[in-house]
Structure 1
Amino acid sequence: MNDPQSAQMKICIDECLACYRECLATAMHHCLQAGGEHTEPRHFTLMIACAEICRTSAHFMLIGSEHHRHLCGECAEICTECAQDCERIGGMQNCVDACRRCAESCRKMAA
């Protein structure tokens, strides 16, 4: 992985996997314990969807699928929405930060 594209892809894979871990862990531990807005179907489903699109995007990049660009574009949108919703509810700054980093990296990969 010496060329810039490969280096950029490695960074994106790492950001996607970090966001996957953070969203899933936050949803399953913090949100379920906090209850209230944290477990409202729209928010909770968004967090799980975010985790899954991040995992799937990383997977497509890892296997070398040319379709990764499409997934990365969608991943950037979902991560942005998840970051905004987690910030709105509050108490999930690590998730907000992971989603924003992933969205930025995925936007670059989708371009």
Structure 2
Amino acid sequence: MQNPSPQMQRCIEACLKCYQACFGTAMNHCLESGGQHTEPAHFRLMIACSEICRTSAHFMLMNSEHHTHVCRECAEICEQCANDCERIGDMDACVSACRDCAAECRKMAG
């Protein structure tokens, strides 16, 4: 496999960072905090965000021609997750990772 472009590499790294932030925050911070942190819609969104980020990274790593479509969806879900985590509060690292990932994925989606 050829090496990914610098732009794609930044996006892969942002996706993997967001995957780690969302999944780790959901499984540790949210489950421990309870309340709004474990509302089904919020919790599902965080897990969906982590999974689309991981999937986007995989599509780029395998140089799939479909990565632009996956990245477009990833950006949308990341933005929604960032907004919801910000609404609930106390998840700044997740909000930041989601916003960074959304920005990089928008670039990849064109």
Note whether the superposition's TM-score is higher than 0.5.
yes
User: SS of 1:91's equivalent?
Assistant: coil
Amino acid at match of 1:102: C
User: SS of 2:5's equivalent?
Assistant: helix
Is it true that 1:41 corresponds to 2:12 in the alignment?
Answer: no
Give me the TM-score of the superposition, normalised by structure 2: 0.97
Distance 1:71 1:50 in 2: 12
Distance 2:10 2:48 in 1: 21
Is it true that 1:76 corresponds to 2:75 in the alignment?
Answer: yes
Structure 2 unaligned spans of 5+: none
Q: What displacement does 1:40 show?
A: 0.4
Amino acid at match of 1:82: C
Distance 2:100 2:39 in 1: 25
Q: What displacement does 1:67 show?
A: 0.2
Q: What displacement does 1:48 show?
A: 0.1
Amino acid at match of 2:71: C
Is it true that 1:102 corresponds to 2:101 in the alignment?
Answer: yes
Runs of 4+ that moved beyond 2 A:
none
Distance 2:10 2:87 in 1: 28
Is it true that 1:29 corresponds to 2:13 in the alignment?
Answer: no
Is it true that 1:65 corresponds to 2:61 in the alignment?
Answer: no
Aligned residues: 109
RMSD of aligned C-alpha atoms? Answer: 1.2
For residues 74-98 of structure 1, the C-alpha deviation after alignment (integer angstroms, 9 at most, x for no partner) is: 0000000000000000000000000
Amino acid at match of 2:19: Y
Q: What displacement does 1:70 show?
A: 0.1
User: SS of 1:66's equivalent?
Assistant: coil
Give me the TM-score of the superposition, normalised by structure 1: 0.96
Structure 1 unaligned spans of 5+: none
